[in-house]
Structure 1
Amino acid sequence: MTSTAALPAETTAPPEQGRDPHARRFGLPIATCLVMGNIIGGGIFLLPASVAPFGTISLVAFAVLTLGAIALALVFGRLAHRHPQTGGPYVYARAAFGDFAGFLAAWSYWITSWVSNAALAVASVGYLCVLFPAIGEHKWSMCLAALAMQWLPALANLAGTRYVGAVQLVATVLKFAPLLLVAVGGLFFFDPANLGPFQATGQSPAGALSASAAILLFSYLGVESAAVSAGEVRDPARNVGRATILGTAGAAVVYLLGTLSVFGLVAHEKLVASEAPFTDAVNAMFGGTWGGTLVACAAVISMAGALNGWTLLSAQTPYAAAKDGLFPRAFEKKQRGVPVVGVVVTTSLASALTVYNYTAGSEGVFEILVLVTTFTATVPYLLSTAAQIYFLLSGQGERVQRGRLVRDGALAVLAFGFSMWLVAGSGYAAVYQGVLFLFGGVAVYAVMAARRQRSAG
């Protein structure tokens, strides 16, 4: 295990990739879209109906979670200022606690990203069937549609960071148009009588708050997106923090206003049973049944944009770890600003899992692995916030006035508590299975560490 000194406290990003017209580093707008697009996938289109059974107390839970997510975003901003490198949580954990902690962060984040990509692609098929009913007539046509949803963003990634940024910007703009239509326009049609009770269950306020929060807990996964791709962001010490905060805040506004508007547009009894709450909201605003097509288009665009961003992130963490000898060297290969091996390998793994889902049925390993990611996604958050606490308490923080030091410390503690809440919300089964899955990577670390030792000898 290396010492903390193995990774300097301040590093510089790689030089501008000006010679390759296909490789272009992201400015603040694209980095912000990356964060927003990765946080908001397709789940928002079902979210209001998922929490409606608990009553409007779920809005309070959402507000609490938003504060935790913003605290986490601020911590990532400070960490990215200190270490403006590609890899995000991996870089921070390794700098604070050495190679093994860094590997665990990289391994867990990598597992989370490609399994989540498979789940997102499978979920998108339901919306594609609304637009193209023939897709839903056979499981293999559905499987091919899910694979296409994975490989089209992968091809955009392989074309270069210039095209990744362009796709992300277009997808973010297109998907937010209908979301903002409901989130903002819906307030003009808002009917308080539709809200239903504050508590719709017989639980205590604390119990209802926790139960609804358990569903909402993972709505903000992706706040680290700009930090993971810091090496591809212009002036990362400045722009990564800004993009993280702006992207998280923007996603929070859409989440909160969108959920509130749907609550006020659709009667509570109907919303609880709704399979397409945003469709029902649009129909309530304008009448007719064209809302289903609009929402299906927005959902497909939303998921395609999220897959575009997450495909890049799924390759960036193993790329950073490979540069330090903690992942196979093949992951270090980069073309046009993109880790090509990482993109191909992770997309292939996600595709294999997708094919398994359609051949083995809707139950089995696929669901278990998706459940595991609810735990593995929080491991990098815990290690990153612990790293920030370590930097501050060990005197490695920047020389700033005491007030700012206290503020950074309070944010780190709050973000650490938020990360622990994410773990608790995963459930016993996810934590148990996630730990087994996480420790499976120890064998990989042993092989890579032994290889490094032989090379050094």
Structure 2
Amino acid sequence: MTTLNPPVTPDEQSRHSRRFGLPVATALVMGNIIGGGIFLLPASVAPYGTISLVAFGVLTAGAICLALVFGRLAERHPQTGGPYVYAREAFGDFAGFLTAWSYWITTWVSNAALAVAAVGYLDVLIPVEHSTATTIAAALAAQWLPALANLAGTRYVGAVQLVATVLKFVPLLLVAVGGLFFFDPANLGPFQAGSGSAAGAVSASAAILLFSYLGVESAAVSAGEVRDPRRNVGRATILGTLAAAVLYLLGTLSVFGLVAHDRLTESTAPFTDAVNTMFGGTWGGTAVACMALVSMVGALNGWTLLSAQTPFAAARDGLFPRFFTHKRRGVPTYGVLTTVVLASLLTVYNYTAGPAGVFETLVLVTTFTATVPYLLSTAAQLYFLASGRADRVHGPRLVRDAVLAALAFGFSLWLVAGSGYAAVYQGVLFLFAGVLVYALMAGRARRRPGA
């Protein structure tokens, strides 16, 4: 097949790009990983028992392996697009398109999920869930405000991300560390709750936990907007992932030890219950709701940028519609607008479909769709290492890079297996729908003169 447009080199980026230094890039990674998940996570995995902490450890190790692989790949390909760029360079246009398509689905569905979760915490501060119309309006506002910040330019995206990360890091650390002083082992409950094997419980827990770890690739996806990406993308990825992992592990462990297991499995606001246990009274609910909202707005801010960057990179190469390449102030304008509209429609559908809606299934699909870019990225790294090309293989690091890439690939494959038959089935349908888009774009490219 005819190769489409070549990637844009870092030197061809606009004057509005390269606004992100190492601190902001690290905040982008950490802010995107720590969205609303940490505030809901302990209750979500409590039904599996404390064995879910084992899954947490495995998932953290896998996320760090992925972070190291992304850092190495970004050194060779410091362009906007991340996994898409790596898969296309290694395996061609079709693999690149599947990566971009799958990642794009993951980002805007995740945005809808974050907005819905944000409404639940907003209701603690301002009652908004008494009518469907008010609830929908609040959820849409949670999506469109970060979108407007993105449209204002990358410098504003970075500023919002840095402030949001700082504001949520301090109180979360207070709960994660302070809660250990009130820790009661009697609250932990059984090691493995429910039936089934231990391996099955770990795998099922990891499938839930993955949604809270999405974002490890954030700096790589936005490499075109990072200063000195060969140096800073890898560092930001590692620092952001490690910081998020520490908060996740300590925070979940603290909540497990503060809230009785039977109560935790029924909790809709586990951090609120934990803070109330630590300090007494009910003021903790308001404080945690504020922290959750700040966290989710920061995550939506970063994910909105990522949801536009991947289609921008693919459209620049002729694999997505051309209008995705339009940039203003360093931000892919139409990419932001398209993804926020899709996420808004999904949000409205969630609230109007009622309890029988398929929104929860679509969120589970993100577990599968997110692993497709991870699998292809790690496979691309293995390809580069096996190819022996001097511009991609660093002799002294060859063995280490190969082991890390193999571990990251196996980890990603394990996540696919753990996401469940329904999620894989739905995810494959999403991927096959993208094949039609690719066929149309490739056909149009072939008709151009000189193709």
TM class by shorter-chain length?
over 0.9
Identical positions, percent: 79
Which AA in structure 1 matches 2:97? F
Q: 3-state SS of the aligned residue for 2:189? A: coil
The 3 A distance-change label for structure 1 pair 400 and 30 is same
Letter in 2 for 1:32: T
Deviation by residue 1:157-199 (Cα, 9 ceiling, x = unmatched): 0000010001101111112222111111112222223223323
- Residues 268-326 of structure 1: per-residue CA shift (max 9 Å, x gap): 23222222111111111111111111111111111111110010001001101111111
- Segment of structure 1 superposing worse, 409-418 or 275-284: 275-284
When normalised by structure 2's length, the TM-score is 0.95
Structure 1 ranges of 4+ moved more than 4 A: 15-18, 397-403
Counterpart Cα distance in 2 of 1:42 and 1:241:
25
User: CA separation in 2, counterparts of 1:202 and 1:327?
Assistant: 46
Q: TM-score, normalised by structure 1?
A: 0.94
* Residues 17 and 25, structure 1, Cα contact 8 Å, conserved in 2: no
User: Residue 10 of structure 2: SS of its match in structure 1?
Assistant: coil
Structure 1 residues 361, 132: closer, same or farther in 2, change over 3 A? Answer: same
Decide whether the 8 Å contact of 2:75 with 2:229 is kept in 1: yes
**Would the alpha carbon gap of residues 230 and 323 (structure 1) be closer, same or farther in structure 2, given more than 3 Å must change?**
same
Which of 239, 243, 255 does residue 236 from structure 2 map onto? 243
| Residue 296 of structure 2 corresponds to residue 303 of structure 1 | yes
- What corresponds to 1:55 in structure 2? 49
Kindly indicate whether residue 289 of structure 2 is the aligned counterpart of residue 286 of structure 1. no
Residue 94 of structure 2 is matched in structure 1 by 100
Matched residues in 2 for 1:266 and 1:369: separation?
30
| Inter-partner Cα distance in structure 1 for 2:86 and 2:2 | 14
Q: Which AA in structure 2 matches 1:47?
A: L
Is 1:256 matched with 2:249? yes
Q: How many residues in Structure 1 have an aligned counterpart in Structure 2? A: 450
1:17 Cα deviation from its structure 2 partner: 4.9
- Pick aligned residue for 2:62 from 47, 58, 68: 68
Pick one of 32, 35, 41 that aligns with 2:35: 41
Distance 1:235 1:131, change over 3 A: same
Residue 14 of structure 1 pairs with residue 7 of structure 2: no
Contact (CA 8 Å) 2:188, 2:257: kept in 1 or not? yes
Partner SS, residue 64 of structure 1: helix
Q: Give the AA of the match of 1:418.
A: F
Say if 1:217 and 1:425, in contact at 8 Å, map to a contact too.
Answer: no
Provide the residue aligned with 2:224 in structure 1. Answer: 231
Whether the 8 Å CA contact 1:42–1:303 is kept in 2: the answer is yes
Partner of 1:137, secondary structure, is coil
Moved more, 155-164 or 59-68: 59-68
Q: CA separation in 2, counterparts of 1:327 and 1:57?
A: 43
Counterpart selection for 1:413 from 385, 391, 406: 406
Distance (Å, rounded) in 2 between the aligned partners of 1:156 and 1:301:
14
2:71 matches 1:77: yes
Q: Judge conservation of contact 2:81–2:310 (CA < 8 Å) in 1.
A: yes
Q: Choose which of 406, 416, 420 in structure 2 pairs with 1:423.
A: 416
Segment drifting more, 118-127 vs 378-387: 118-127
- Whole-angstrom CA distance in 2 between matches of 1:355 and 1:202: 36
What RMSD in Å do the two structures reach over aligned CA positions? 1.9
Seen in structure 2, the aligned counterparts of structure 1 residues 399 and 305 have a Cα distance that, compared at 3 Å, is closer
Letter of the structure 1 residue corresponding to residue 73 of structure 2: L
Q: Which aligned pairs between 1:255-404 and structure 2 lie closer than 5 A?
A: 255-396=248-389, 398=391, 402-404=395-397
Q: 1:15 to 1:113 in 2, by over 3 A?
A: same
Structure-1 residue corresponding to 2:166: 173
Q: Do the aligned residues in 1 keep the contact of 2:28 with 2:161 (CA within 8 Å)?
A: yes
Instruction: Give, in angstroms, the shift of residue 136 of structure 1.
Output: 1.3
Deviation at residue 217 of structure 1 after TM alignment:
3.1
Query: Take 1:428 and 1:137, find their aligned partners in 2: how far apart are those partners?
Result: 36
Shift of 1:151: 0.5
| CA distance in 1: counterparts of 2:104 and 2:145, whole angstroms | 20
- Offset, 1:375: 1.4
Structure 1 unaligned segments of length 5 or more: list them: none
Structure 2: distance between partners of 1:297 and 1:57: 30
Q: Which amino acid aligns with 1:105?
A: T
Instruction: Report if the CA contact (8 A) 2:52-2:205 is conserved.
Output: yes
Is 1:192 the equivalent of 2:189? no
Q: Is the 8 A contact 2:368 2:419 kept in 1?
A: yes
Per-residue CA distance 1:29-60 (angstroms, 9 max, x = gap): 11111111111111211211222232222212
Pair 1:32-2:26 in alignment: yes
